[in-house]
Amino acid sequence: MDNCLFCKIVRDEIPAKKIYEDNDLIAFNDINPAAPIHFLIIPRMHISSLVECEDSHQDLLGKMLLFAPKLAKEQGCTEGFRTIINTGRVGGQEVFHLHIHIIGGKERLPVMIHQG
Ligand code: 5GP
Ligand code: ZN
């Protein structure tokens, strides 16, 4: 995807603070962190969002989710973290290349959605 921001990060066409990469995934710090630790895990391949995932992506999705706590711990999330995947307009997705947010730090994160 020529114009996809995160594909450009994958191709090193725009800079990012990468903290991990392998053949399938990369992880880098969010440019506008919501907490002291905030990084994104993305697949190298362009998938627009969770809605576009297919059965063939099962292993990739499993790998991303299983990898999240490992990298979170490495990055300093010793007592937990929040995992967010925003999807589509209602989900507030801004970059249409699938990504998992990992957000944490030392303090408890604010309540995400107020009920009632
Ligand atoms: P979304 O709302 O799509 O779930 O989240 C997109 C995230 O990407 C936001 O948290 C935003 O701060 C981050 N982001 C947007 N542009 C860039 C960029 O150029 N570099 C990095 N590292 N993060 C970005
Ligand atoms: Zn992309």
Distance CA(9)–CA(36), nearest Å, equals 22
The answer to whether residue 115 scores a pLDDT higher than 90 is no
Q: Which two tokens stand for residue 7?
A: 């594909």
Q: Which residues line ligand 1 (CB under 6 A)?
A: 5, 16, 28-32, 86, 92-95
Residue 116 has pLDDT above 80, yes or no: no
With pLDDT > 90 as the criterion, what percentage of the chain qualifies? 94
Residue 35, Cα to own-chain centre: how many angstroms? 14
Is the pTM higher than 0.85? The answer reads: yes
Distance in angstroms (rounded) separating the CA atoms of residues 40 and 81: 13
Q: Which domains does the chain have, with CATH numbers?
A: 5-95 (3.30.428.10)
Q: Work out whether the CA dihedral 89, 92, 94, 100 comes out positive or negative.
A: negative
Phi, psi for residue 17 in degrees, rounded to 5: -80, 85
Instruction: Yes or no: say if 9 and 26 are a contact pair by the CB < 8 Å rule.
Output: yes
Distance 39 CA to ligand 1 centre (A): 9
* Beta carbons of 97 and 87 less than 8 angstroms apart: no
Q: What is the pLDDT of residues 54-87, one digit of tens each?
A: 999 999 999 999 999 999 999 999 999 999 999 9
Q: Is 99 a catalytic residue?
A: yes
- Cβ neighbours around 80 below 10 Å, total: 11
Neighbours of ion ligand 2 (CB under 5 A): 1, 4, 6-7, 46, 97
